[in-house]
Amino acid sequence: MSTLRVPQQVPPASEDCEQLKKAFKGWGTNEDLIISILGHRNAAQRKVIRQTYAEAYGEDLLKELEKELTSDFERSILLWTLDPAERDAFLANEATKKWTKSNQVLAEIACSRSSHELLLARQAYHSRYKKSLEEDVAHHTTGDFRKLLAPLVSSYRYEGDEVNLTLAKSEAKLLHEKISDKAYNDEDIIRILATRNKAQINATLNHYKNEFGNDINKDLKADPKDEYLAILRATIKCLVRPEKYFEKSLRLAINKRGTDEGALSRVVTTRAEVDMNLIKEQYHKRNSVTLDQAIKKDTTGDYEKMLLALVGHEDA
């Protein structure tokens, strides 16, 4: 579901490129002009703009933007202007380089994208970094984290809605046994999460709750400080209720202790064309302020304007 508002009459890419070139000229960069163009074009249109810009001026638009812009505004524009698969490859690479046990970005990319999107991200990774995502994940992670993340990033799930209820019952029972035994890194848990289609996982987890009384993520909160369990819970949420996962990511990014601009930019740029309306509804319900209000309160200047444009704010 796309929530990005694109103007009814979009000018040809050549015109957008002329305007962008103008925005870079003169005494200072015209950030408003850049936002009014790139912040209101969908993925296909941004791709054509980049190609047209390279043909017309012999320059890479991303490099031009990098040269002209700074800080969080620069990052949000660059992430947004990338093709979705390139963006995922870039974010995944960054996550492997800055790997910490509380880093959920790899699970987020592996589980909230469709099989086809994940495949495209892996191809983009290969082409950009001259190695595979699986290789980097295996190299930069250890122990239980590697055991979970390596199969997640290399999975290619069936995308259909077919559900085997007998299997859902038996696998719910299996999950409950392993979790009761605190065998959180058991290969059966990982196999179910990494291979089953999302509708099947949903059915299994519904059966788990009906049969054993608790939501599975509640049972996986046995030790709130355990970072492996946190990634396991994030994996499950991304597979079955991504809008809840992303609402929580935004809530934690916009908090009283200071904004986590990295997470804010990542979630807004990766979800603006996917399920932003659902995330906004969830955010409003959970926080009693709208996401737009929270962004306005927590950010300033061009960065604020860009984020508001992407979350579909009517004044953007």
For the structural domain made of 241-311, what CATH number should be given? 1.10.220.10
Closest residue by Cα to residue 69 from 114, 20, 112, 103: 20
Closest residue by Cα to residue 107 from 231, 260, 253: 231
298 carries a ligand binding annotation: yes
DSSP structural state of residue 82: S
73 carries a ligand binding annotation: no
26 carries a ligand binding annotation: yes
- pLDDT score at 26: 74
- pLDDT score at 257: 77
88 carries a ligand binding annotation: no
Specify the amino acid at residue 299. T
Strand 254-255 vs strand 258-259: parallel, antiparallel, or unpaired?
antiparallel
- pLDDT score at 250: 97
User: In the block, which residue shows the tokens 């003169």?
Assistant: 26
* CATH architecture classification, 13-83: Orthogonal Bundle (1.10)
29 carries a ligand binding annotation: no
- pLDDT score at 103: 87
- pLDDT score at 249: 96
50 token code pair:
């980049």
Tell me the DSSP string of 253-308.
Answer: HEETTEE-HHHHHHHHHHHTTTTHHHHHHHHHHHHSS-HHHHHHHH--HHHHHHHH
299 carries a ligand binding annotation: yes
User: In the block, which residue shows the tokens 């990494």?
Assistant: 194
Q: In the chain, what's the furthest Cα-to-Cα distance?
A: 68
> One fold for both 85-228 and 241-311?
yes
What is the Cα–Cα distance from 316 to 303, expressed in whole angstroms?
12
Q: Where are the domains of the chain?
A: 13-83, 85-228, 241-311
162 token code pair:
């077919």
Angle, vertex CA 45, rays to CA 39 and CA 49, nearest 5: 90
304 carries a ligand binding annotation: yes
Residue 243 near residue 282 (C-beta atoms within 8 A)? yes
- pLDDT score at 3: 54
For the structural domain made of 85-228, what CATH number should be given? 1.10.220.10
* pLDDT tens over the chain, length 316 residues: 555 655 557 899 999 999 999 999 877 899 999 999 999 999 999 999 999 999 999 999 999 999 999 999 999 999 999 999 999 999 999 999 999 888 899 999 999 999 999 999 999 999 999 999 999 999 999 999 999 999 999 999 999 999 999 999 999 999 999 999 999 999 999 999 999 999 999 999 999 999 999 999 999 998 889 999 999 999 999 999 999 999 999 999 998 678 899 999 999 999 999 999 999 999 999 999 999 999 999 999 999 999 999 999 554 3
